Chains A and B, each alone.
Chain A
Amino acid sequence: MEFFKRTDPIAFMSQSMRFGVLSLILVVASWVIVAIQGLNYGIDFAGGTLIQVKYEGKAPLKEVRSLINGSEQFNGAQVNYFGSENEIVIRTKTSSKVVGDDVSDEAKKVLSSSGNFEIRRVDMVGPKIGSELREKGLMAMLFAIIGILAYVSFRFEWRFGLASVLALVHDVSITLGILSLARVEINLDILAALLTLLGYSLNDTIIVFDRIREGLGKLKNLELTDIIDTSVTLTLSRTTLTSLTTFFVVLSLYLFGGEIIKGFSFTLLVGIIVGTYSSIFIASPLLIWLKLSAREYQAREAKKLQREKEKERMRAMYEKGTL
């Protein structure tokens, strides 16, 4: 089977301005959304208590809400269905420091009149840990981005490094915008999903860049835009296929993986779409916008090659004893 039989280059770069503008609008819109709407931090980052309760049969949401709001310690808590109508979660912003305090026991007492239920999960994060986790999350992002920038710059050239990082910022921004819009709760697993998406989207970008690097060496008489068009076209099949397989797998995770990892898989689903788009339409034109010159690159590579040859020649002479 073959989806992409076409081998003559598609003129992606002639349309690059349009995609650039589209992306710019999306990124700025995402920032505005995040700035206005904010992110819906879950208890991992904001601190607080989460109680997951499963009822035998349908959970009496209204009754639970009135019981919870009538109680002293859970007053002001949010109560929502979780996954199915049998399960609910109760979220409060408060947490207790005392080791002996039993939140689930208190919840049990408060809810005792609402039917037969089982308390399946109690998560409690103190405010100090919340801010610490947020800090660590940012550090992880930063560390990953710097590491990637350094590695790609080392393996390719600084413009490739910068372009791939800008593409990453693009992906993360838009994904965060969508998360903010969809009011997805931001917990540690979302952070994990965002970092995975960094790695994933970068994967795609690197594959394309690798082809461009190869093209720069082989297609000496072509202009940069043509080299990029050729490279993107040649990798189009792979980019789409891998994105599809990954997308399907994550989709199955989203549909069947259970409520707890729904946010995680949703983030990845969004990220795969945005990441694939950016690898094809944004990362490569960025090379042009960053003023990568095919001739300069080739000249530098040629020089490098020459230096290596020179070194080899010297070594050969040295070994022969003629130096």
Chain B
Amino acid sequence: MKKLNYRLVLFALALIFALSVLLSGKRPTLGLDLQGGLHMLLGVKTDVAIKSRAKSIATNVAYFLDNEDIYYANLAIKDTSISFEILDKDDELQTKALIQENLGDAVETKENGLNFELIMTEQEKLNTKENAINQAVDTIRNRLDQFGLAEPTVAKQGSDKILVEVPGIKTQEDEQRIRDLIAKAAHLQLMAVDEARNTRVTTMSPEEASSFGDVILYDAKTKEPYLLREVPILDGSMLTDAKVGYDNNNNPSINFTLNGQGAKIFGDFSGKNRGKRMAIVLDDKIYSAPVIKERIGAGRGQITGAFTDEEAHDVAIALRSGALLAPVEVMEKRSVGPSLGADSIRASMFALIFGFVAVIAFMILYYSAAGLIANVALIVNLLLIVAVMALFGATLTLPGMAGIVLTVGMAVDANVIISERIRELLKEGKSITKAIEDGYSNAFSAIWDANITTLIAAVALYVYGTGSVKGFALTMSIGILASMLTAILGTHGIYEYFLPKINKNRLKFWFGIKG
């Protein structure tokens, strides 16, 4: 019985695999440099997140003290510590218990008589940083998903960076909108106007305001200054929904809904402060400061003023997907227009085809049938690279294309080595069968060692490379591995198949040398 030509079977299986993947319509994803798009590496200003965490601790303190009817004064924030004074000695124990219950390990408490000082612990700062980054990743992803673009990528990179990739941006205006959407802090705060001192706001310095526990903010449209209590009544973290709507004058507005806790705080505050004003502040700009006429219980509010339809749409998305705990800043940005990507594809395809034809022609000219066999392996190798990338959803970048072109040059190397060995053995007078068998086994160690070392370089590049360079390392690695299958196993199988037909008198035809 004839021995099974397992090499040829494996080679055929590889070919069937590649073809079935490609015929099913799967293709590798094109990198941003080939299809156009926006790539950004963002840093997170975590120190801001820590400051705003201190603020939210202060809000929390005000809330639980109010809730238990404990009277306090001079609630203030300095860097990462919150201080206040309780007015009744009898409340001391309960205050301590409340701090422990609500804040736990987040703060270290120092007491001096009835003065309390809450200092954020290092662990809490670390958690806040970590939280700010993770939250920024989630928030930006949410926003981009809701914006309605195809497959944006948002991922944490390293310990403190965020990678954002948005393919398929058509115009510069769209890109600008996307970047604005990403950068929007969307920090909504409801703040009380300090009615007692507000009349003096035009002459007050920020330092003086701060000494009262106040802050000066400006109206978004009229730029009129307001003096507001620094600790907000509540903030956007208690928001459950935000939608675009229209106000009485038919201008676009954003209607928001608060969660249960938010609604309660809002209701209590409005109940107690009738006749006073409350400012709706978005990203440190005041959108309106209506006078409270009655208790507002349903937990609904409206942001009006200075919006176009598009802005209202984007702000609503930003509010829905949550505020950024900390602002982000650009560390790296690459944007490629679609026309440049198309040019790059055209140019690299042309180079690929040209190089490919040159190599194929050369191999046939130099090695005759042996060259043809090597070429078959080369074609299958190319198909395999593309199929494997398509199957695993890998990204094909411009350097990746260069990697494929380079693989074409290097993949025939194995066949050159093998063919040279076979020629050598034939000249020594070995039989065809022996020359092929020994040719392969002698050449194997060289091909193996050479490929492994190239693979080491490719892996180094993949591990330490970024972006499109990673794509290059990937295609190189896949190309090397695939070439082991096609150039060594595949061609060997083909020789085995033709072995009965290879005639010592026709060495010129088979191996391109004189018999």
Contacts and interface: CB of A to CB of B under 8 A. Distances in A.
B303 interface: no
Contacts, number: 257
Contact of A189 (B354, B362, B363, B399): B399
A120 B460 contact: no
B449 interface: yes
A268 B351 CA distance: 15
The 3 closest A-B CB pairs, nearest first, are A258-B347, A99-B183, A246-B409
A301 interface: no
Given A99-B42, A203-B450, A248-B355, A192 B406 contact: no
Contact of B420 (A101, A123, A129, A237): A237
B417 A253 contact: no
B332 interface: yes
B367 to A, nearest CB: 8
Interface stretch (A13-21, A193-201, A304-312): A193-201
B interface: dominant SS: helix
Interface residues of A, number: 81
B174 to A, nearest CB: 12
A233 to B, nearest CB: 11
B476 to A, nearest CB: 7
A226 interface: no
Interface in A94-130: 95-102, 104-105, 108, 118-126, 128-129
B429 to A, nearest CB: 13
Nearest to A152: B453
Interface string B450-474: 1111111111110111111100110
A129 B41 contact: yes
Given A129-B41, A192-B399, A256-B354, 19 more contacts: A98-B330, A99-B183, A102-B175, A120-B337, A123-B335, A128-B43, A143-B460, A151-B449, A189-B469, A203-B413, A203-B453, A207-B446, A211-B446, A235-B420, A245-B363, A246-B409, A248-B355, A248-B409, A253-B402
A interface: dominant SS: helix
A120 B463 contact: no
A192 B461 contact: yes
Given A2-B512, A257-B348, A188 B467 contact: yes
A148 B457 contact: yes
Nearest to A122: B335
A214 B442 contact: yes
Given A98-B183, A121-B335, A242 B460 contact: no
A123 B417 CA distance: 43
Contacts of B296: none
Contact of B464 (A125, A139, A210, A237): A139
Contact of A105 (B176, B183, B423): B176
A136 B461 contact: no
A182 interface: no
A291 interface: no
12 contacts: A104-B175, A125-B332, A126-B332, A140-B460, A151-B452, A191-B469, A192-B469, A199-B453, A202-B454, A246-B410, A249-B358, A250-B355
B151 interface: no
A119 B172 contact: yes
A126 B330 CA distance: 8
Contacts of B350: 256-257
A206 interface: yes
Interface in B174-219: 175-176, 179-180, 182-183
A147 B183 CA distance: 42
B427 interface: yes
A258 B344 contact: yes
Nearest to B471: A192
